[in-house]
Amino acid sequence: MLPLSRSQLGLFFILLCPANIIGLWWAVGSPLVMDPNSICRKTKRLAGKQNELCQSEPEIVNEVAKGAKLGVRECQYQFRSRRWNCTSHNKYFGKILQQDIRETAFVYAITAAGVIHAVTQACSMGELLQCGCEVTRNWGPPSPLAIGPGADGSAWEWGGCGDDVEFGYEKSRQFMDAKRKKGKSDIRTLIDLHNNEAGRLAVKNYMRTECKCHGLSGSCTLRTCWKKMPHFREVGDRLLERFNGAFKVMGGNDGKTIIPVGHNIKPPDKQDLIYSAESPDFCQANRKTGSPGTRGRVCNSTALDVGGCDLLCCGRGQREETVVVEENCLCRFHWCCVVQCKKCNVKKELSVCL
């Protein structure tokens, strides 16, 4: 018998499980988040619509997978100094996706956002046959701010290559919102779908306008303007804000609606992240909750907020460690235009959680 990696073992587990167990485990969109590269292989017998897309539009599936990875990378950046750092180790990540805590909400949202972003980007770059730049629409005039100073009275038009966010939006919906069982809507599914949409809107609702000047020697007699997606870092920042202000909800009696928990609380809007269960503290390793714990994490002994040793090490304390890292040094600029550096070994003091 060949040795199997963990992800292969996971695949075996899925194939051997009776359908109802898979149904529980396999929430909306989670195969994509867990393992973007093998989405088509894995979902072959699981999601009808996804399978269809795997067959008919493999190049788009490729972009979808890239987008899911973009999302997870951004998640790891945004959470880099928190107790839960969005580690995508399967043993823990899968558990996070099975719950309905804030972290689950963030992962779904950022993944859905990554997919709309990557697909749209590919369209604009001309990498897909099915889509391209946005056909100019009947938008109102761009804001004076976008056009630039001194633009009063000068002519402008929509043109250039705008990002066709609608196409990416549709693809993100088809992949992330694919349901296994038709008509079966439990609260968890509703929450996941809401957070997927919140992620997509963090891209779609924040399109920016770019303009370019035309005319003799930059005289700017005519400006061409187009719509671009926000940078993905900005999308991550915005979703982190939504994470911090996430709404706790519960299922209504009819099993089809979500209601906010607490008195006099305004209901969440479409761009808010929602969750239904409190997060664990993520201090100790716990496979059941998907927490890898914070032992061995590098912390900042002078910071008092996130990333500070007190918070990150959960009061257990830290030890100081000296590590040797290789860094660029003695850099010199050579005309023109290269910078050459030497490699130096630098000693660094690190604090590491006990």
Ligand X SMILES: *[C@@H]1O[C@H](CO)[C@@H](O)[C@H](O)[C@H]1NC(C)=O
Positions touching ligand X (CB under 6 A) are 80, 85, 87, 292, 294, 297, 300, 302-303
Q: Give φ, ψ of 127 to 5 degrees.
A: -90, -5
Of 42 and 297, which CB lies nearer to ligand X in the complex structure?
A: 297
DSSP states of 136-189 as a string?
A: P----PPPHHHH-TT-TT-EEEE-S-EE-HHHHHHHHHHHHT--SSTT---HHH
Q: Where are the alpha helices (DSSP H) in the chain?
A: 6-16, 19-25, 30-34, 39-43, 48-56, 58-78, 90-98, 102-124, 144-147, 165-176, 187-204, 232-244, 309-312
Minimum CB distance to ligand X, residue 13 (Å): 23
Q: Least separation, in Å, of the C-beta of 349 and ligand X?
A: 10
Q: Which is nearer to ligand X, 152 or 349 (CB)?
A: 349
Element (H, E) at 222: strand 222-228
Contact 93/136 with Cβ under 8 angstroms?
no
Nearest to 232 by CA among 119, 126, 352: 119
87 or 189: CB nearest ligand X: 87
Cα separations in angstroms, 298 against 21, 82, 302, 308: 38, 11, 12, 9
The nearer residue to ligand X, 174 or 284, going by C-beta atoms, is 284
Query: Least CB distance from residue 34 to ligand X, whole Å?
Result: 17
Query: Cβ 87 to ligand X, closest distance in Å?
Result: 4
Q: Shortest distance, CB of residue 240 to ligand X, whole angstroms?
A: 16
Q: Would you put residue 324 in left (φ > 0), alpha (ψ -120 to 50) or beta?
A: beta
Q: How far apart are the first and last CA of the chain?
A: 39
Q: Give the residue with the Cβ less far from ligand X, 162 or 292.
A: 292
In the complex, least distance from residue 127 CB atom to ligand X, rounded to whole angstroms: 30
Q: Write down the least CB distance from residue 46 to ligand X, Å.
A: 29
The residue (of 43 and 99) whose beta carbon lies closer to ligand X is 99
Contact 50, 43 (CB under 8 A): yes
- Mind giving me the DSSP string for 43-94? HTTT-HHHHHHHHH-HHHHHHHHHHHHHHHHHHHHHTTTSSS-----HHHHH
Q: Taking the complex as a whole, how short is the minimal distance between the CB of residue 109 and ligand X, in angstroms? A: 20
Which residues have a Cβ under 8 Å from the Cβ of 345 and sit 6 or more positions away?
Answer: 324, 325, 326, 327
Taking the complex as a whole, the smallest distance from the CB of residue 104 to ligand X amounts, in Å, to 17
- Please, which residue, 78 or 85, has the CB nearer to ligand X? 85
Nearer to ligand X, 210 or 310 (CB): 310
Nearer to ligand X, 46 or 350 (CB): 350
Q: Name the residue among 315, 310, 312 with its Cα closest to residue 293.
A: 312
